[in-house]
Amino acid sequence: MATAATASATRFAASGGFLHGLRWRCVPPCHGVFSLSSRSRAVSLKSRRYFVAPSALYKNDFVVKEEGQPETLDYRVFFLDSSGKKISPWHDVPLHLGDGVFNFVVEIPKESSAKMEVATDEAYTPIKQDTKKGKLRYYPYNINWNYGLLPQTWEDPSFANAEIEGAFGDNDPVDVVEIGERRANIGDILKVKPLAALAMIDEGELDWKIVAISLDDPRASLVNDADDVEKHFPGTLTAIRDWFRDYKIPDGKPANKFGLGNKAANKDYALKVITETNESWAKLMKRSVPAGELSLV
């Protein structure tokens, strides 16, 4: 990581040092570039089709630029490509890396409580702290796992999922709960493999939680499905479900519910969710469904 960051710093200095005086850091992975034609297309990998944005840059070399001070209303974490152009962590970071590996954008590091999220209604969808009635939002207690989103996914609020009590999507990217031991940073992009899925129903809206593990975790090779999580991370799936079920109770709200028999679905089901929500995102980007206040830039 240090070597990659140093290399990035050298490149930016050579290009005129446009980040001078700003807080920035390399976002792993910090090497390699691949690109697509200017037209959108679908990528087929092992019989699954994953859609990509027409403007997606797909460079595995990003930096994040922080604007404002953390834990203020003005704080934003923007993503920049190697030329200094702002990109969207939701729309421009690739979803699928092949061989069942996906990019995961960290919004909330484990053992923290500030409710950070991608600002889906702002240009370039930077990460910011959520607010309610003009005040910054915090969880009532720390979250115990790295938490964030799968890029290029969207839970369509016009789609009623017949398998999950007819619940409609929550109008956000799909959430990821990463169970590895390392504490990530806001804006990190980790390579993860999905292991399970929890169908949370929050005030009638479907809010998927994909349970995954970073490939750089020492136990990553040991876990490939929900049963492996129970074996090598005993109690973790239950703990995740209970955390998300109960976190609103201290604020006087009812507990969240879960579909699928209140249990975690297996890896194949998680991959199904990812495929379907990626397809929904593709329709959103093509303007086949209304975007409302969502930013598509």
What 3-state DSSP class applies to 278?
Answer: helix
Tokens representing 265 are: 């679905």
- CA dihedral 100→101→103→108, nearest 10 degrees, is 100
* Candidates 139, 147, 247, 269; catalytic one: 139
Instruction: Please say if 139 is a catalytic residue.
Output: yes
- Contact by Cβ (8 Å): 182, 218: no
| Cα 136 to Cα 113, 207, 232, 266, distances in angstroms | 11, 22, 36, 35
Tokens 């504490």 belong to residue: 183
- How far apart (Å, rounded) are the C-alpha atoms in residues 157 and 168? 5
How far does Cα 218 stand from its chain's mean position? 22
Query: At a CB cut-off of 8 Å and minimum separation 6, what does 167 contact?
Result: 160, 161, 201, 204, 205, 206, 259
Residue with token string 């009532």: 140
Nearest of 259, 148, 133 to residue 197 by alpha carbon? 259
Active site residues: 139
